[in-house]
Amino acid sequence: MVAKISIGSSLYGALCYNGEKVNKENGRILGSNKIIIPVDGRADIGQMAENFRLFMPKMGKTKKPVLHISLNPHPDDRLSDQDFEILAREYLEKLGFGEQPYVIYKHMDIDRHHIHIVTVNVNEEGKRLNQDFLYRRSKKITTELEEKYNLHKAQREKISPDTPITKVGPNGDFSCQREQNGACSNYAERSRERREAHIKRQVANTVKMVGMRYKFQSMGEYNAILGLYNVRCDTADGRVNGREYHGLVYFATDDNGNTIATPLKASRLGKFASRTAIDGRFERAKEKIDVAPTKRKVAEVLNQSDSKDDFVAKLKERNIDVVFRYTDEGRIYGVTFVDHDTMTALNGSRLGKEFSANALYARFSQQPQPTEQAPIIPVAPAPEDAQQSQSTSSAGTAPTPTQSQSVHSDSGDYDFTLPGLDLFQPGQSFNPDEEEFRRRMQRKKKRGHRPKF
């Protein structure tokens, strides 16, 4: 059995969340302590909030007095309402909250039925209850209850480095036989809610794993990775009641980028998905990213590619996904390379001007004639090749800048040729050092002819 504990400040918010489940027939109230429950089983949220306030001081120093706990047995444990209530009361007693006002709810919006508990962590005198090692004590209690009632051991889903990231999608059956037989009046509504909950879990897992594994420095690079798994993230900035807010909203999409479920605010997924967490990853990535390995592979592929489709396919073979962004007219205005070997997303301009959106658009939209001489993009050698080059230079056999050079790769020796990019490759008569020297002399000459007063 897995227990999740949230400590917050909004009592009404916790009661409203659970009360709506009950009033929509997706849950029921199993029991309470010191809180009056309506006879008809409906959740009178306002009245229940007043009941809680009777046992709480009007003034207190505790800023977050509300505990919202969910107890989640293993799916193979089939428990009755009475079983759930016994587990909840015994759990609270062992945790030290047995005498507090609380309400126990059962949620049935997904096949894995579970319970929620709303209580407060201050007594009638305003003194905060003991919360030392709260989560550790909770884990010990759930283990004891599993052994006492012969329940399956349920653990939180752990994400390991080998856990694959899969595309988000509404796959699966979200109905049950009882509903299909007409036992439930809101069959379609409950199936829709199950589908939404299933998609939410997928989005949360995708966002968590992308944040743990990949390095990115902008929202565009972040979205380039998420988009590979049918997730999109948008910023949400505005002002409410005179206060500014800056958040993120996540969308599940299909392969064409169309939204397939209700948008999810970052707060519904977890702190790892928040604006603060993602901005922090932007900053930390700046010190960790090395563009050289990705740049070298992209340059090698670009020199060999005859078309955009060929370029994309060959990068895929090198474990790199390239994400193009287009205007309504079909022009490329953005490009991001996602290197799954280095776990890095890089906008094309970070690799160099020759890999920017404008350069690639010019490259792939205007193919030169076959008779034109093909200039090349210089490719930085791999570290092991650089060492070999240094040893060769020491032997006096280094090639001059005007000599034809080949670069070694895993597929053999070849000359990198890239048609149609004359602006990236200086001609053989061009010498950067001489050109810079000429410009310096011209500047000195102009300064020397200034009139003196």
pLDDT at 412: 36
pLDDT at 383: 61
User: What is the CA angle 383-384-387, rounded to 5?
Assistant: 90
Q: Tell me the C-alpha distance between 45 and 22, whole Å.
A: 11
pTM over 0.75: no
Q: Tell me the C-alpha distance between 42 and 76, whole Å.
A: 29
pLDDT at 422: 38
- Three-state DSSP at 406 gives coil
The class that CATH gives domain 2-148 is: alpha beta
pLDDT at 59: 57
Q: Tell me the C-alpha distance between 276 and 279, whole Å.
A: 5
Mark the ranges of the chain whose per-residue pLDDT is less than 50: 173-185, 368-375, 389, 391-431, 452-453
In this structure, what are the phi and psi dihedrals at residue 328, rounded to the nearest 5 degrees? -65, -25
Show me where the domains of the chain are located. 2-148, 189-286, 292-390+406-424
Burial of 401 (C-beta count, 10 Å sphere; 0-12/13-18/19+): exposed
Burial of 187 (C-beta count, 10 Å sphere; 0-12/13-18/19+): middle
User: What is the CA angle 28-29-30, rounded to 5?
Assistant: 110
